[in-house]
């Protein structure tokens, strides 16, 4: 659980630092709104996982599944050496973290609704 929270926090902070440093995607600067929303979502997931909130872990696992799917599609369209090296590394790392979070999610008890 701690590793997942650390990864989420590093993604959020790294994304903000990259934007402030002037990183470009496909030759263009990304929109500030998307950067802020993604970074806020990652920080919320990091805090939630640190506090062992069921919903935060589940949301982060959903984001990991989306990341694996997107990088699988990028791997299919790879046209250079970097395109063949980066996606498998990201897919393997995100898949491994997803696998570990499944076990942690099973240990966190889902909150009970009042009256049950």
Helix/strand/coil percentages in the chain, nearest 5: 75, 0, 20
If you average pLDDT over residues 27-47, what whole number do you get? 88
Instruction: Output the CA–CA distances (angstroms, integers) from residue 59 to 15, 24, 54, 95, in the order listed.
Output: 19, 28, 9, 15
| Model pLDDT, residue 46 | 92
Crossing angle for the helix pair 2-21 and 81-107, to the nearest 10 degrees: 140
Query: pLDDT tens digits for 40-92?
Result: 989 999 999 999 888 899 999 999 999 999 999 989 988 898 889 999 999 99
Q: Which residue has the higher pLDDT, 111 or 28?
A: 28
- Tell me the sheet residues that pair with 28: 25
108 sits in the region (left: phi over 0; alpha: psi -120 to 50; else beta) called: beta
In the predicted model, what is the mean pLDDT of the chain?
A: 88
Tell me the whole-structure pTM to 2 decimals: 0.79
């Amino acid at each position: 659980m701690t590793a997942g929270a650390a990864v989420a926090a590093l993604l959020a902070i790294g994304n903000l630092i990259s934007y402030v440093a002037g990183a470009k995607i496909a030759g263009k600067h990304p929109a500030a709104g998307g950067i802020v929303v993604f970074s806020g979502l990652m920080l919320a997931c990091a805090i939630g996982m640190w506090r062992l909130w069921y919903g935060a872990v589940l949301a982060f696992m959903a984001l990991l599944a989306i990341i694996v799917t997107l990088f699988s599609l990028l791997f299919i369209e790879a046209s250079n050496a970097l395109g063949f090296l980066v996606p498998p590394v990201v897919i393997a790392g995100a898949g491994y973290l997803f696998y570990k979070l499944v076990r942690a999610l099973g240990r966190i008890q889902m909150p009970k609704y009042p009256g049950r």
